[in-house]
Amino acid sequence: MPVNYELHQNIAVITLNDGKANAVSTTLLENLNQALDQAEKNAQAVVLSGRPGRFSAGFDLSIMGQGGTAMAGLVAGGAKLAHRMLQFPLPIVIACTGHALAMGGLMLLSADYRIGVDGAFKIGLNEVAIGLTMPLFGVELARGRLNTPHFHRAVINAEIYSPRGALEAGFLDQVVTEAELANAAMAAAVELTKLNQSAHHQTKLRVRNEVLAGVAQGVEKEFGIQLSAI
C-alpha cells in the first residue's frame, strides 16, 4: 500500500511511501482519499508526510506518457484532490520530507501549513521543463497560493527551489532539520486543533473562495468535470 494511516490521539498521520518517488498514481489517489475519509471520521487534524528524502515527484509518468483518457483521468484526479484539500474540514499540515515536484508541489499549495526539511532537495513545478503544459487547475492554485514575484517564475519558467527558497516563494511556511521534522509537524497540527474548528473551516473557505472557484472552473473547462460547490 502506498499510503499508511495512523491515528496519534486526535491527529491523523498519513504517510505516502511507495518505496520509490511517491509518484501520484491512480492507486495512490484512491488510497489517499480513503485515508482522508477516515480522518474526517476520527481525527481533528491531519499530518501528511512522505518517505525520507521524497515527498512526491508528481504524477506517474508511465500514465502521463500514455496521453489521452489515461492522462486526463489522472490529472483530473489530482485536481479533485487539490480541491478537496483546499476546503478540507480539518487542518492539514504537510511534513515535506524531501523532493516535492509537479503534483507534489501542488499538494504543498493545497495544505494549511507546510514544513520542509532542510537539505539538497528540489521543490517546485517542473511541468514545463519536462514537456507538459501546466493544467489550468495548477495555474489557478499557484496564482492563489504563491507569493506574487514567484508566480510566473515557478509556473512559466519551471524554476526549482531549495527548501529555503521554497519558503520565500510560498511553497513552505517553515524549514527545519530532518531530526526535527516529525515533531515540528505534529506540534503544528496540535496547535491548529486548539482553534475553533468551525470558524477555522469557514474562514478557510472565505479566504480561498477565488482559488477554489478557479480550480473548479479549470477542471470543468479542461476535463468537463464539475467539482462540488463550496
How does pLDDT run across 38-69, given as a tens digit for each residue?
A: 999 999 999 999 999 999 999 999 999 898 89
Task: Give the pLDDT confidence score for residue 108 in this predicted structure.
Answer: 98
pTM for the complete prediction?
0.96
Cα gap 199→7, rounded to integer Å: 24
> Hey, what's the cell of 53?
528524502
pLDDT in tens, 135-187: 999 999 999 999 999 999 999 999 999 999 999 999 999 999 999 999 999 99
Whole-angstrom distance, CA of residue 177 vs CA of residue 113: 17
Length of the chain: 230
Q: Which fold has domain 3-223?
A: 2-enoyl-CoA Hydratase; Chain A, domain 1 (3.90.226)
- The values of phi and psi at residue 175, to 5°, are -130, 130
Banded pLDDT at 228 (limits 50, 70, 90): low
Q: Residue 20: name the closest of 55, 49, 47, 48 by CA.
A: 55
